[in-house]
A and B are shown apart, each in its own frame.
Chain A
Amino acid sequence: MNEKKSWLGRALSARGVQSVVTAALGFVLLFIIFCILSPQFRSGNNIQNLFRQIAPTMIIGIGQGFVLITGNIDLSIGSVVGMACMTAGTLMSNGANPWLACLVALAMSLAIGLVNGVLVAKVGLPSFIATLGTMTLARGLAQLVNNNHNTNFIGNTAQGFRDTLYYDSFLGIYSTVWIAIILWVILWFLLSKTRTGRHIYAVGSNLDAAKLSGVNAFHTILITYMVSAFCSCLCGLVLLASAGMGTMDAGTTYEMYAVAACVIGGISTLGGTGILAGVIPGAGIWGILQNGLQFVGAPVALRNIIIGIIVIAAVMLDVVARTGRKKPKAKTK
């Protein structure tokens, strides 16, 4: 029965692919529009920068995607970004080994992920509330680690760290982009090829059914929060490498960027649906708007307004496209 469909037809009818294709087309369209409108935008230098700008959003988008698919949300992402950035920054500016500093930041981030997972899946708090708490808590830790000051410049001791995470490039692509790509491949494998991934979808689709089928919902949800915390930490370290110093408000509202990237890419906040590939065009659209609108001379206020409208429009378009194409619902009678 399926043999008749072409390879392309089958790929398109696979779950979640449609929204990803829609988002990718949107990205390409925006790309072309900005290329026509602005010569600076289409310069090779900016294109390289554009992708490096998109990468951090993609990294946290991947983490948020894991959590959203289980039907939960992680609001602590932005604060964990800031905490990781400040923790590693403080240690580095005081002369610690940069990679050791990264490990300390990672341990702290994963601890927040652990707390999130336990509060949501074991204690049973609504994820919105639980992660709202840890969001504030992690931001407090970000302020605490260096006594309520931003850190000093870290370039003297940690130039290698900065190059590896931000400035190096390979095949004309910056290392940050490579990091995002490698992270995506690993986590795509986890989500779509392994048992854990299947359980993540099952928990988001129908928690009771998953539990009754013997799925360990606690482990599954915990893993998603750990993945999210790991991604947030990585994003924080990228920001540190980029700026050369830790700032206490680094990553503020990033959790919302992550949600936007997911939702534009077809990962529903209701859980159970969406594929990780959606995060790529999702983060892409977010990043290209920030970058492109700047080059066509839109003031900051206008940029925000336009981005807000486009996010809503993108999601609406997706909803309309999906419900419009849906077969008349099979009635029970």
Chain B
Amino acid sequence: MTAKQEISEKGIGIMEEYIVEMEHINKSFAGVKVLKDVKFNLKSGEVMALLGENGAGKSTLMKILSGVYTRDSGSLRIFGKEQGDLDTKKARALGVAIIHQELNMCRHLTVAENIFLGREEKKGATLNNKDMAEKTKEVLDSLKIDLDPNEIVGNLSVSKQQMVEIAKALSIHAKVLVMDEPTSALTAKEINELFRIINQLKEEGCGIVYISHRLEELSHVADRVTVLRDGEFVMNGEFKDYTMDQLISFMVGREITEKFPRVKCPKGKKIFEVKNLNAGKLVRNINLELYEGEIVGIAGLMGAGRTETTRAIFGIDPKDSGQILVDGKEVKINKPMDAIKAGIVLAPEDRKKDGLCTKLSVRDNLALPNLDLLCNKIGKVNRKKEKELVDKAVQELNIKLASPELNAESLSGGNQQKVVVGKWLARNSRVVIFDEPTRGVDVGAKVEIYNLMNELKKQGVGVLFVSSELPEVMGISDRIIVMCDGRITGELSPEEATEDRILQYATQFEAKI
């Protein structure tokens, strides 16, 4: 056997083992190094969990693999073959598909049009819409997703859109599939469906990279794990060899002693009460109370009406009937400004869309709802007062930033959330409502958000928070309210709460829906 043959035999051996090999990958954006000498590999038929805090470089690394970005240096081998600079089309031709973190759908186009975007099938010069619709139906059927290929994507719910993204990635018969936070918008049922699909793909020999902040769900799917921190490779290994706490300390570079820090506070007087609130189908006869120094968690499945309830309370959506009382006095809330004046504050679910003006500076964002306090009679903003307000918020909430003049979008998820809350600090709020405050936020920042809630609680503010993650609802709340189908179906103390009991309440009307 000649040396050359030997090498090629070895090549095949490597190919069988690793379908993706990335070594010494470097990447900078505008002079800032976001990936430093990173290595990554993937075998066929396995799920590789890719972990790291926000800004660790996970998404960037995967965008290099899928051809969205080109690397500055380093080697990339796919199926044992060294690859030069990729673009999305080349990567797709190699069988690399990616489901991006942000939904990347053309809202105005149909499901089939989105799935075939960029690789439309033609009959002569014209598009072959019938064929594409049929093939889309096949893909959707194989994934057991009940959707009409001709439905306009903009009319679908976020979770359905996410399923379309998944179907789109799979429709190219991917051999390497990257999923960047695929479950952030899915319901429990859909997540199980996704795991079923993942297992099916694994059996077919597809290699899957799975990025998620929800560590709990990884134990269901992950075979191996790679951890990045600050753009550098930290470790990789068999997933089952490590505990959650070990993985977290790899990610954040320090021990997180308490995942759910809890603060004991004496329960004060009743500060907030909702009586018989009705608003459309998803808010039916809601009664709830909130006491000083208390965190109340609202649990439930997607579509249970939790967000709708907070929106109705805050005056975004019209109420059909019901009363809202703050400190025992009834307040009329017809628009958000009424709620703000009554001392109620909402940190909305979608930070980027509803919570922040991402293109404005942190200073502008913090000052925005307080301009009436900051302006003099002719409407000129008092810079000194503004600076005081901004400094106070940054200090009290421990917002990590180089300067308040930076755009809000440049902050990490956790710090963005702090800015959203910081906007209302000057208002002496009585009630703060958080809607999914930790969605898409990494472990370290999650703890910071919990600490923020605890801090508010200590100051005697009532905190109401909506969350789909049961561990955090159980870990942080002083009381847990469960909703299903627009109604409150149960109330539990943290001592009596178990995942099973919450789910039982949360699915009370499931059969009827």
A331 interface residue, CB < 8 Å from B? Answer: yes
Closest to A271 in B: B108
B307 interface residue, CB < 8 Å from A? Answer: yes
B118 interface residue, CB < 8 Å from A? Answer: yes
Query: A212–B304 contact, CB under 8 A?
Result: no
Q: Which chain A residues lie closer than 8 Å to B126 at the CB level?
A: 189, 193-194
Give the Cβ gap from A207 to chain B, nearest Cβ, in Å: 9
- Which residues of A187-212 are within 8 A (CB) of B? 189, 193-195, 197-199, 201-202, 204-206, 208-212
Contact bitstring B84-103, A, C-beta under 8 A = 1, else 0? 00011100100000001000
Of A2, A195, A202, the contact of B109 (CB 8 Å cutoff): A202
Q: Which chain A residues lie closer than 8 Å to B122 at the CB level?
A: 194-195
Give the Cβ gap from B204 to chain A, nearest Cβ, in Å: 23
Give the Cβ gap from A267 to chain B, nearest Cβ, in Å: 12
A333 interface residue, CB < 8 Å from B? Answer: yes
Q: Which chain B residues lie closer than 8 Å to A183 at the CB level?
A: none
Give the Cβ gap from A23 to chain B, nearest Cβ, in Å: 19
Query: A212–B185 contact, CB under 8 A?
Result: no
Query: B108–A205 contact, CB under 8 A?
Result: yes
Of B68, B117, B282, B304, the contact of A215 (CB 8 Å cutoff): B117
Most A CB within 10 A of own CB, among B89, B100, B118, B155: B118
B156 interface residue, CB < 8 Å from A? Answer: yes
A332-B104 in contact given A194-B126, A195-B120, A195-B127 (Cβ < 8 Å): no
Cα distance A194–B409 in the bound complex, in angstroms: 38
A208-B104 in contact given A15-B152, A333-B468 (Cβ < 8 Å): yes
Query: A205–B157 contact, CB under 8 A?
Result: no
A328 interface residue, CB < 8 Å from B? Answer: yes
Of A201, A213, A273, A333, the contact of B303 (CB 8 Å cutoff): A333
Query: A210–B117 contact, CB under 8 A?
Result: yes
Q: Which chain B residues lie closer than 8 Å to A201 at the CB level?
A: 106, 108-109, 113
Total A residues in contact with B, Cβ cutoff 8 Å? 31
Closest to A327 in B: B155
Closest to B483 in A: A333
Cα distance A2–B100 in the bound complex, in angstroms: 32
Query: B349–A205 contact, CB under 8 A?
Result: no
Contact bitstring A201-235, B, C-beta under 8 A = 1, else 0? 11011101111111100000000000000000000
Cα distance A327–B155 in the bound complex, in angstroms: 9
Contact bitstring B2-18, A, C-beta under 8 A = 1, else 0? 00000000000000000
Query: B159–A332 contact, CB under 8 A?
Result: yes
Cα distance A257–B123 in the bound complex, in angstroms: 37
Cα distance A330–B114 in the bound complex, in angstroms: 19
Q: Which chain B residues lie closer than 8 Å to A210 at the CB level?
A: 106, 117-118
Interface residues, chain A, with chain B CB atoms under 8 Å away? 1-2, 15, 189, 193-195, 197-199, 201-202, 204-206, 208-215, 272-273, 327-328, 330-333
Can you list 25 A-B contacts (CB < 8 A)?
A15-B152, A189-B126, A194-B122, A195-B120, A195-B127, A198-B109, A198-B120, A201-B108, A208-B104, A209-B106, A210-B106, A210-B117, A210-B118, A213-B118, A214-B87, A272-B106, A272-B107, A331-B308, A332-B158, A332-B185, A332-B302, A332-B349, A333-B304, A333-B305, A333-B349
Given contacts A198-B127, A333-B302, 6 further A-B contacts (CB under 8 A): A193-B126, A198-B113, A205-B106, A210-B118, A213-B119, A333-B307
Which 9 A-B residue pairings sit nearest by Cβ, starting from the closest? A214-B118, A213-B118, A205-B106, A272-B108, A209-B104, A330-B157, A213-B117, A214-B89, A205-B108
